[in-house]
Amino acid sequence: MNAMILIALIVGGTALLSWPLGRYMKWAMDPDVSQGLAAKCEQLFRFIGGRFVGEQQNPKQYLVSMLVFNVIMFVVSFGVMALQQHLPLNPDGQTAVEGSLIFNTAASFTCNTNLQHYSGESTFSYFTQLCALMWLQFVSAATGIAALTAMARALAGRKNMGNFVLDLQRGVFLVLLPLAIMVATLMVLGGMPMTLAGAAHATTLEGIEQTIARGPVAAFLTIKQLGTNGGGFFGPNCTHPFENPTFWTNALAMISIILIPMACVWMFGRIIGRMRHAAIVFGVMLAFLLVKSAGAVWFEQAPTQAFAGLPIEQNVGNLEGKELRFGAPEGSGPLWSVLTTSTSNGSVGAMHDSLNPLTGLTPMIGMWLNATFGGVGVGMINMFIYIVLAVFVAGMMVGRTPEYLSRRIEAREVKLAVIALFAHAFFILGGTAIFAATPWGQDTLNNTGAHGFSEMLYEFSSASANNGSGFEGLGDNTVPWNVATGIVMLLARFIPIILPLAIAGSLAAKNTTARSSGTLGVEDGTFGVMLVATIVFIGALTFFPVAALGPIAEHLQFMK
């Protein structure tokens, strides 16, 4: 019961907060610049951006600008990591980093994934953490918000998508930075460290010297949650007491994970001028989130199998891998695992490798569907793919050309949508198959059987969904893992952005059509049911076989 109350408070409270934030994000990202504060901000951004923000861009120009800037992000961060031993703000003397790990980390943070095959406090300097990784957490998140804004403008019927550099500045300085300052202040008041001093050295009561890593944790932690980045300052992520000191910082972190993704749906609805449509989409996403959260809590009530056969009576759920400072083990940990994988956040409040098998399946489902609010900006973009297919299927069922927002969806749009979904599945299933069949994966497992398979499946699911979390029972800091997941992250980041923007641009170029009795309305319950069915059927047909080989097989094994 307490766990269900926690779900209601965190999810319900954040949903309420997302409404005014969505209104503000519409003002920030798609403003009326004729007067007031918006006009002054516009003048400042145009001064900063110079000639790069001078013109409105069509879909092709917008995409090119976005890709060029992301290449710059990758190169700059790669250079900082490669040279960190020669750069300032390195009080703990961090040394050079291996090349494949630099590639993986640069790709990961550029793609808003933040998959980490390292422990931050023992690998990277403060300069690298702040000027490369934290900077990427701002601009990669702003890239997602900008892409959603551009797509919404096209679906609203505008011939130009805006200007990427201008949208990027709006996302960073008007959305992410103000929220980050507010949340970071609350985190510091909650006991989170914020210092540029080196590690603290202490002597225990037993006379043993102890080195305690610290740093500018609050600044890093805040944008990792708000930007659905998820990269931890410390290796244990938010299970580390410096990244999550109290019950209240824990609750604030969970709210921060889903706040902007929820608000993005309302921002999308305001830009296209269809708030009832946005409400239906929001309701579908919220229903999936609540079902997964309730399922995770229910499955985690069973005791851990690590105690099976031992003379221990356990009736409080699975204690393994949980932070008991935050309440019952079946509460905060499972809820965090669902929230972080329903978005592309990837931070962890419990060790996912220690979750019961079916509980561990729920975060995988979140990454496989990749549309339950999703990452900042890109979550709604991913849902747009399912919307296109739902409208197409419904149109075929009634025997007429499908329409979305009064524009016909034809063969080109459907092909692009199918390719986007196929690419996501291919990266997960293809990567898992290769590593499961070769020493690249087999030699890095700490567990055999179904659980070991789940560890590899989870790693590629996380990379393809740009999530970044892991089962962590995997020795994944190897050249094959670093290179393979790095490539997957790059492709899985930009294919699902490029193709939906291409679809939106194609629809924007078409003439509007009059609505008739055969048109599927996108503002009623029928559309919501059709959208749910499309997501469930596609997800089940694509991923149920591997779920049966991994988490489901492990669950059945324990039932013997």
Identify whether 264 is part of a domain.
Answer: yes
30 lies in some domain: yes
Top-confidence residue, 33 or 1 = 33
- The residue with greater pLDDT, 396 or 285, is 285
Burial of 99 (0-12, 13-18, 19+ CB in 10 A): middle
Q: 512 with 407: CB under 8 angstroms?
A: yes
* Residue 187 tokens, joined: 């985190």
Give Cβ neighbours of residue 84 (< 8 Å, ≥ 6 apart): 90, 94, 96, 97, 124, 125, 127, 128
pLDDT band at residue 540, thresholds of 50, 70 and 90?
confident
130 vs 487, higher pLDDT: 487
Establish if 212 belongs to a structural domain: yes
Confidence grade of residue 22 (pLDDT, cut at 50, 70, 90): very high
Specify the residue for token string 């000027």: 131
Question: By C-alpha distance, which of 250, 265, 328 is closest to 3?
Answer: 328
| Residue 408 domain flag | no
In this structure, are strands 407-408 and 200-203 parallel, antiparallel, or unpaired? Answer: unpaired
pLDDT of 459 above 60: yes
- Count: domains in the chain: 1
Q: Does residue 411 belong to any structural domain of this protein?
A: no
Task: Establish if 125 belongs to a structural domain.
Answer: yes
Whether the Cβ atoms of residue 347 and residue 333 lie closer than 8 Å to each other: no
The answer to whether 143 and 69 are in contact (CB under 8 A) is yes
CB-based burial of residue 98 (10 Å sphere; 0-12 exposed, 13-18 middle, 19+ buried)?
middle
Q: Are 228 and 344 in contact (CB under 8 A)?
A: yes
Residue 313, pLDDT > 70, answer no
User: Cα(348)–Cα(110) distance, rounded to whole angstroms?
Assistant: 20
Would you say 519 and 403 are in contact if contact means Cβ atoms under 8 Å apart? yes
**Alpha-carbon torsion 78, 81, 86, 89, what sign?**
positive
* 478 lies in some domain: no
* Domain hosting residue 249, numbered range: 2-272
When pLDDT is averaged across residues 267-284 and rounded to a whole number, the result is: 95
Instruction: Place 535 in a pLDDT band, splitting at 50, 70 and 90.
Output: very high
Contact 278/268 with Cβ under 8 angstroms? yes
Q: Which of 337, 467, 336 is nearest to 459 (CA)?
A: 467
Burial status of residue 447 (CB atoms within 10 A of its CB: 0-12, 13-18, 19 or more): middle
Place of tokens 């890593």: 213
Give the percent of the chain with pLDDT over 90.
Answer: 53
pLDDT for the residue 483: 96
Residue 463 lies in a domain: no
Q: What is the pLDDT of residue 382?
A: 94
Nearest-CA neighbor of 137 among 108, 117, 166? Answer: 108
Query: Is the backbone of residue 309 left (phi > 0), alpha (psi -120 to 50) or beta?
Result: left
How far, in Å, CA of 474 to CA of 453, rounded?
A: 10
Pick the closest to residue 104 from 414, 486, 392, 532 (CA basis). 486
The arithmetic mean of pLDDT across residues 49-58, rounded, is 85
Write the DSSP string, 3-39. Answer: HHHHHHHHHHHHHHHHHHHHHHHHHHHS--TTSHHHH
Token pair, residue 379, equals 């979550």
Average of per-residue pLDDT values in the chain: 89
Residues in the chain, how many?
560
